[in-house]
Structure 1
């Protein structure tokens, strides 16, 4: 036993006593717990019984439900490691049978999308439950499914998508899915008792049977009862069909902690396991409790933090069973808990009770006898165990005394849906339940589908309520029959809420499901247009405005809704004598409908991008920050040129910081408001917040008496000498005002951060819209999918704010840097605490680290880092990053230089003006080169042969000069027809490789511009 284990062992007797007490209080038939620390299982114990007679031991096997998903992802990772599959290739290429209703969406969905629950497709768990078809046959039916949300826009837990991923992996491997996982994951991990299906489970002597309780009161009395073990084939097995025990799951936890390594041996591919633990989706946009950070989802692993400690975790729940694995990778700690009752919440919270002891954390919650107990009580209530009406909260209010509009017999028949299968209704006799005497009966509709048989209760008009509570499954739905124009019937199941399901892969989370429209086979419906051509929007705007003026209409607004979405919203004229008539802005409407000038190279992408996408840096468009510096065009003219910009990544697939997207959002907001962007912000934000000295532009800043002027240092050595020099204020037009054009003071910024922390309120008065501020500080995108440092959680991005935690404290943050100024805001809303740091030095790493130095003091945290020392160590790196120490540091993206390869043409052949709609224009001119230093001459002699010098004698002593907007200088020859272009000054640090391209006629008509953020080809004018 290691010293660390010896210390922890002092808790063992306490754990045993408390867990057994909690088991009884919560009403769990049996449970097992294993704790892995420093590579060893330090604690493993069973409690209660696995059936009616035998003890539940650490070796007891039971279904682990959704924990299976991680094994599926790991198996796919092994195929990727063998280069048999790719994470980011359309899954349809591997499994052509997988199609959804939208062909474009079919072509875009990747393994990463499937495994991180970001396809946008709705959950279909119940529709797949106990179906007679094969998994592949059910996958084929997904071509009828419409998306519930745009691709990668939100996290929608979806067992069926993981099943698709598993089936695609099986197709690639050329074997059954189950065999693939057993051969590549469980057996190599020594998990010899782990297997698939309940039919196999019951053949093992030490297996747990499923239990439940009637309600919470019964659970507290220990009145558990057996529920049937579902022995049917599991169509979505890749999402939840494995069974195991805590001892074997300990090996799974170890490889998660150590990126595929088990007991010193690399068993699973390291890179693939790192992918599993990389965040791709925002799962919980806000911490569920103060102890936790923002919840993210990787590839079938949940990712977050607990009291400042990084965690991976995943739970599983199926009728009669609940499981959970929680891993603290940086602490080499994992806790596994299995139980044979699926309504209890002990496995969800017990790991944190143990973690507090092992990691010596402050006891902020009673995880066993308060949190787990209350969560279990709520689970019984939400599951309808106390009152079936508890799961019908989303039903419309019932209208009393409204009978059916048709004869009950008309509703009889079988109704079919291509995805959900068939449902049969039959009129039968049912015993009356109210105001009856004896065995009086009435006619009622009997429901038969999905292996459930139950009578419907009349609700109102032609709507009926279906309540099911059998074999551990509880759900309720409202069935509404609709009469078609031809008199035929169909029905829509509205707001079906299902808490428990016989499906063994069901998540423990409550989910609202729309089952969809069921039609009789004779009913045909006309398919609607899937998309509206965005090109129509400009035509509409032009024609409507022309008609408005022709008919002398003062003002109007037009809103078009298509497939449940507002796709066009436009105002025309004025709402009074002076103010424009505008539609109400929406976060989720395509911005092109407000600002038609904003277009990308892909019309579909243009029609998808919303304010949320722009402000969360998730459009997929590249950043082109330098390209707008000192441009003569207007902001709107530059926005129009974005239509030539190619996406750098699919929309919502990754975080790409872009000032341009904020600029587009600001200009769109200005268009909606009918005033310049700057005026809009002053009128609606800064002045209402009392920020009267805050404003826009360097020109305006220079007019204020108490303004800071910018400074910088030539390099790190100069900084150490205190050799600081003034930097001139850049008075050129700054086009990215919405992304970074404000100036303010620390005092006035305090009002802004107060309003952000207090949901728009300032000093007790509501100044900014509460819902909008909450939206702004809500996570919408993954900023860093991996842990940045132990003190920080997975970092997300809201709308203009970073979202995360610092040592367990919820944190909002954003930094800024421009032309000799730095700023950094750190807000801790739960603590009502913020730090504002402004500096008039371009390279000032104190701005980055001082907030944490202060936070450690305020929160009375142990001083684990010297933040000033970190700032000192980081400063030379920043000088290098800006090219101040060594300009080649800016040229990491250049190809290796080939020595002694002179240009193939004379410099005059390259001269001329070249243009690109996004980059702008660049001119080159052959000029007399300045005198060179002796070192430069020696280098030239070393790099070029005398023959090469003689061949290029006409250009000896000459160079190519460039002019790019206000920036000019000399190109340096790199190799062949490539030249280095450097601009390093107080405004910009930039290096690119210019390669001149010969035309087929022998002349030079283009050059390739290789920058650190992309490549562009400019054409000679």
Structure 2
């Protein structure tokens, strides 16, 4: 398809986007969605459905959605302002700014840098799971970091880490002398004109906001998800990595900011530096590499930067094409299919407006020998992955660890049942999920120096293999 950015009039663009959004939301069973695109300086927004199945209000461009991990683009940008002002150095050890930092390994605690946090090369596992008053402060979060396993020496590989960004937020606090949320407002949100973007739930609750929805029981009937933003305890302790809420209208402004205006907050050189690849990704759907706060991905020759996020029954996606004055934002209030909705929106808009067609990777035929080699349990702090071989196909199932679920004082997302996966090449270790809520996710099984399978990458996270019980 040829690009249509110059010839398409606003009315046609609005009608086509509205029709696509409505049809796709119905296809995936999403109660409420909002999508915005920026094409050649012109914004088009389409919404569909309601904020809450129990107390419905129509979704619009100003409806607030929790952005979950899209928050990381804000935290990284605020830190880059401190870098541009000479108050933080990317290559400096984190202990220069957070001297109390302790980790499970002293050498890692001494060596880890600010950049390691921002490009996910710190070697920290995904996140901490703990409760109590300390969980509601960044200082308390940092105090518990010695409990977090390390998966690799700092700087040696990328593995997506919420904990790394929460530690980056503590740097913002110590350098500015302000609570993280107030520092973010002063450094970034206010000067960038983001008047509909908040960390404070008290601000969210007096505006129109979307409620997440998750399947209930075997009938898959959607119900409002509780708690509202996330099932993880300690909202403030996780704010730098996933605590912001915003709307499509503000996210389009955020996209314009990163397309080069900087709103007087960041110089163009700092914005450009954020989009440069810092480290290559190890085969996954997040992208080909990581910059500072962004995942970098090439789609049919078009270079993109972006970030997604998923909360409790919520999914967010932001993708920007530097140099093409193009961006797409997609917000959906149901899990797990909200992610699939967002990916369909991104694909449609890239093809329609830039002529960039994203093609799904195709698995090769089932290989029983290789399937038996990788079958087993893999885990991170809060989740188990079970890769199973039944002699005809390989499957992957995801569960929240039973002890985590049992200790939770709120609803948690449903586990994902076994879904088929397949290898992408004969003899290779890359795989793709071909059905279910993770359809299209791909990654790689990891081996040690002796060739034994010791881990699996999924959604940018490294899950270590759990030894089989003797």
TM-score (norm 1): 0.35
Question: Among residues 105, 114, 119, which one is paired with 1:116 in the alignment?
Answer: 119
Question: Among residues 61, 74, 87, which one is paired with 1:71 in the alignment?
Answer: 74
Alpha-carbon distance in 1 for matches of 2:283, 2:132: 30
> Which residue pairs with 1:709 in the alignment?
none
1:473 aligns with 2:413: yes
Question: Among residues 308, 312, 317, which one is paired with 1:319 in the alignment?
Answer: 312
Question: Among residues 308, 328, 331, which one is paired with 1:338 in the alignment?
Answer: 331
Alpha-carbon distance in 2 for matches of 1:295, 1:363: 14
CA change 1:73–1:364 in 2 (3 A) is closer
Answer whether contact 1:197 1:234 (CA < 8 A) is retained: no
**SS of aligned partner of 1:355:** helix
Size of the aligned set, in residue pairs, is: 385
CA change 1:587–1:54 in 2 (3 A) is same
Answer whether contact 1:28 1:340 (CA < 8 A) is retained: yes
**SS of aligned partner of 1:139:** helix
1:355 aligns with 2:350: yes
Answer whether contact 2:104 2:149 (CA < 8 A) is retained: yes
Question: Among residues 12, 15, 19, which one is paired with 2:14 in the alignment?
Answer: 12
**SS of aligned partner of 1:473:** coil
> Which residue pairs with 1:305 in the alignment?
298
Answer whether contact 1:324 1:336 (CA < 8 A) is retained: yes
Please list, as runs of the form range in 1=range in 2, the aligned pairs for 1:636-647 lying within 5 A after superposition.
Answer: none
> Which residue pairs with 2:267 in the alignment?
269
Question: Among residues 56, 60, 78, which one is paired with 1:57 in the alignment?
Answer: 60
Question: Among residues 224, 227, 241, which one is paired with 1:226 in the alignment?
Answer: 224
Answer whether contact 2:314 2:334 (CA < 8 A) is retained: yes
CA change 1:189–1:71 in 2 (3 A) is same
Describe the superposition over 1:694-730 as per-residue Cα deviations: whole angstroms up to 9, x where unpaired: xxxxxxxxxxxxxxxxxxxxxxxxxxxxxxxxxxxxx
Answer whether contact 2:173 2:180 (CA < 8 A) is retained: yes
CA change 1:93–1:267 in 2 (3 A) is closer
Alpha-carbon distance in 1 for matches of 2:179, 2:75: 12
> Which residue pairs with 1:452 in the alignment?
408
Please list, as runs of the form range in 1=range in 2, the aligned pairs for 1:618-657 lying within 5 A after superposition.
Answer: none
Alpha-carbon distance in 1 for matches of 2:225, 2:251: 25
**Deviation of the 1:510 alpha carbon:** 11
Alpha-carbon distance in 1 for matches of 2:96, 2:24: 50
Answer whether contact 2:37 2:45 (CA < 8 A) is retained: yes
5+ residue gaps, structure 1, are: 366-389, 398-422, 424-445, 454-469, 477-507, 512-564, 567-584, 589-770, 772-1021
Alpha-carbon distance in 1 for matches of 2:133, 2:247: 25
Describe the superposition over 1:644-677 as per-residue Cα deviations: whole angstroms up to 9, x where unpaired: xxxxxxxxxxxxxxxxxxxxxxxxxxxxxxxxxx
> Which residue pairs with 1:140 in the alignment?
143
CA change 1:281–1:392 in 2 (3 A) is closer
**Deviation of the 1:28 alpha carbon:** 0.6
Answer whether contact 1:8 1:358 (CA < 8 A) is retained: no
Describe the superposition over 1:895-921 as per-residue Cα deviations: whole angstroms up to 9, x where unpaired: xxxxxxxxxxxxxxxxxxxxxxxxxxx
Answer whether contact 1:313 1:326 (CA < 8 A) is retained: yes
Question: Among residues 213, 216, 226, which one is paired with 1:211 in the alignment?
Answer: 213
Alpha-carbon distance in 1 for matches of 2:150, 2:13: 50
Answer whether contact 1:116 1:281 (CA < 8 A) is retained: yes
> Which residue pairs with 2:283 in the alignment?
285
> Which residue pairs with 2:48 in the alignment?
47
**Deviation of the 1:78 alpha carbon:** 0.8
Alpha-carbon distance in 1 for matches of 2:265, 2:356: 33
> Which residue pairs with 1:753 in the alignment?
none
Alpha-carbon distance in 1 for matches of 2:129, 2:441: 14
1:250 aligns with 2:252: yes
**Deviation of the 1:358 alpha carbon:** 0.9
CA change 1:176–1:395 in 2 (3 A) is farther
CA change 1:447–1:17 in 2 (3 A) is closer
- Note the aligned Cα RMSD (angstroms): 3.5
> Which residue pairs with 1:500 in the alignment?
none
Alpha-carbon distance in 2 for matches of 1:5, 1:214: 46
CA change 1:214–1:450 in 2 (3 A) is closer
**SS of aligned partner of 1:195:** coil
TM-score (norm 2): 0.73
Larger Rg: 1
* Greater alpha carbon shift after TM alignment, 20-29 vs 133-142: 133-142
**Deviation of the 1:18 alpha carbon:** 2.1
**Deviation of the 1:334 alpha carbon:** 0.2
> Which residue pairs with 1:881 in the alignment?
none
Alpha-carbon distance in 1 for matches of 2:48, 2:129: 32
Alpha-carbon distance in 2 for matches of 1:168, 1:38: 37
Describe the superposition over 1:247-292 as per-residue Cα deviations: whole angstroms up to 9, x where unpaired: 101111112222xx15xx5432323222321212222437x5xxx9
Answer whether contact 1:33 1:337 (CA < 8 A) is retained: yes
Please list, as runs of the form range in 1=range in 2, the aligned pairs for 1:929-1008 lying within 5 A after superposition.
Answer: none
**SS of aligned partner of 2:292:** coil
Alpha-carbon distance in 2 for matches of 1:396, 1:307: 34
Answer whether contact 1:28 1:224 (CA < 8 A) is retained: no
Question: Among residues 161, 165, 168, which one is paired with 1:165 in the alignment?
Answer: 168
Alpha-carbon distance in 2 for matches of 1:364, 1:10: 26
> Which residue pairs with 2:201 in the alignment?
198
Alpha-carbon distance in 2 for matches of 1:63, 1:28: 16
Alpha-carbon distance in 1 for matches of 2:122, 2:357: 39
> Which residue pairs with 1:789 in the alignment?
none
Describe the superposition over 1:941-974 as per-residue Cα deviations: whole angstroms up to 9, x where unpaired: xxxxxxxxxxxxxxxxxxxxxxxxxxxxxxxxxx
**Deviation of the 1:298 alpha carbon:** 1.2
**Deviation of the 1:195 alpha carbon:** 0.6
**Deviation of the 1:242 alpha carbon:** 0.5
Alpha-carbon distance in 1 for matches of 2:236, 2:80: 23
**SS of aligned partner of 1:153:** coil
